[in-house]
Structure 1
Amino acid sequence: MTEVRHTPVAPTRTQRLASGAEIDAHRHDDHQIVYAGRGVLSVTTSAGSWVAPANRAIWVPADTVHAHQAHGDLELHLVGLPARENPLCLDAPTVLSVSPLLRELIIAYTRTEDDDSPERTRLRAVLLDRLRISVQQPLHLPTPSNPLLGTVCDLLRADPSDNRTLAELGREVGASDRTLSRLFNKDLGMTFPQWRTQLRLHHALVLLAERTPVTKVANQCGWSSTSAFIDVFRRAFGHTPGTHSR
């Protein structure tokens, strides 16, 4: 990321982004909650990427350099919070579960950005109360710092349907599967199958936001069958992928 823009105050507002639109790398002195009421949002930092469909939000801590990208027509809701106010005590970007009530609170709060009325103050208090009990979701796709591991991850990013084993990928980059397995755990904090599944889920969300049929998504993301894809997707997100095509 280059030419990082510094916006001291994280805005609280609603805005719309066309599919594929990006907000370039920037940082705030405040924390920010980023939520897509429609479409799928990805947030990228030097440490990796986070993706959130409509039942998830992304917590971005103060002073984190990050960029946004819209997948599908995006209705973006931003909630800025002072650096001193961290209801979940989080110091890294995190995906949070958004209940139906929290969703409505975020939407209502971000549509009245300049209103300091007592009603809006109470709305904010309830929003923070619901945020404090939000469940954190493991939807982070970390970026490797090791160059060798980066080459392997780039191969899979280029084609998430690539079903080669770690040993087969290792032969292409000149490393043993044992070495690569150790690097996945040490550098990324997860196993090779875990990282590849996260990559495929991220890619699936993007394709679904672009109205790609579920069967085609399963195939392009490397699942052995549509039913296997639906099962993994439901366990990760709490609903079937067909929800995104409505």
Structure 2
Amino acid sequence: MPRIRHDPVASRHTPVASRHTPVASTEARLLPSGGAIDAHRHDDHQIAYAARGVIGITTDAGSWVAPGDRALWIPAGTVHAHQAHGELELHLVGLPAADNPLGLDRPTVLAVGPLLRELIVAYTRTPDQDTPERARLRAVLLDQLRASPQSPLHLPTPATPLLRTLCALLEADPADGRTLAALGRAVGASDRTLSRLFRADLGMTFPQWRTQLRLHHALVLLAEGLPVTTVAHRCGWASASAFIDVYRRAFGHTPGGRAPR
């Protein structure tokens, strides 16, 4: 398994150096808040699920986060690093490259209902067993994955130097409420140019990207135990109610609430 480190300020960008771990592990483990697993890749697919805390992964294409009602699908061969936000109870499920029930070729956040959650937790409790019962458990787990809706919780990393500079400003302070025109003056570009770059480089508009950034940041702060009102303020929402409304639309429930069963 790749080396675990403690890094209270996890980078959004994957380190250049990475390990090759051919087999993706199936296990349950605890990571401290701020803990990280260094960049690595494996020849298997892997599911990463946080039964407690929030799990994040970074690749050279961006970052993904998953609270307790979501899981991360990590395709075989993807160089990625894990980050723990809050005390993390991490469940990892390794699957052979031939087992890709959703045909996904990039990291993806998947919704996790009560049954899939229990299947993941049960499957990782006995990772070394090879029994008919475990094979049936795995088959049901794959069936549940096929029915798992995808969640748009990807924060893409820009390739354009101009956008990298602008995005770095907002990553340093997600509450920065400047318009695209004002940010453009800070980086030396027009809002029209920046708007075009956001669509061409990141596949989304500037408001969409900023909302994704703020949701990512909010999940991290909530995992660290901050009150909803504080999270809303630090992430740039005008009020707690405005934040709760955006959060409910993104996740189907309020911050601190439970996903609908």
How far apart are 1:190 and its partner, in Å?
Answer: 0.2
Aligned to 1:105: 119
Aligned to 1:19: 33
Distance 1:130 1:91 in 2: 18
**Secondary structure of 2:257 counterpart:** helix
* Structure 1 residue 232 corresponds to structure 2 residue 256: no
Please point out which of 3, 14, 23 is paired with 1:9.
23
* Structure 1 residue 212 corresponds to structure 2 residue 226: yes
**Secondary structure of 1:96 counterpart:** strand
* Structure 1 residue 137 corresponds to structure 2 residue 141: no
How far does the alpha carbon of each residue in 1:164-213 deviate from its partner, in whole angstroms, 9 at most, with x for none? 00000000000000000000000000000000000000000000000001
Distance 2:190 2:49 in 1: 41
Aligned to 1:168: 182
The code of the aligned residue for 2:65 comes to V
* Structure 1 residue 92 corresponds to structure 2 residue 96: no
CA RMSD of aligned residues (A): 0.8
Distance 1:239 1:78 in 2: 25
Matched pairs, number: 244
Please point out which of 56, 64, 77 is paired with 2:70.
56
The code of the aligned residue for 2:176 comes to D
**Secondary structure of 1:240 counterpart:** coil
The code of the aligned residue for 1:205 comes to L
Aligned to 1:152: 166
Distance 1:100 1:234 in 2: 19
How far apart are 1:84 and its partner, in Å?
Answer: 1.4
* Structure 1 residue 80 corresponds to structure 2 residue 94: yes
TM-score by length of 1: 0.98
Distance 2:19 2:125 in 1: 25
- Which 5+ residue runs of structure 2 have no aligned equivalent? 1-14
The code of the aligned residue for 1:123 comes to L
TM-score by length of 2: 0.92
Distance 1:3 1:182 in 2: 33
How far apart are 1:242 and its partner, in Å?
Answer: 2.7
Distance 2:39 2:181 in 1: 36
The code of the aligned residue for 1:78 comes to L
Runs of 4+ in 1 over 2 A off after TM superposition: none
Distance 1:17 1:47 in 2: 24
Please point out which of 214, 219, 223 is paired with 1:200.
214
How far does the alpha carbon of each residue in 1:42-61 deviate from its partner, in whole angstroms, 9 at most, with x for none? 10000000000000000000
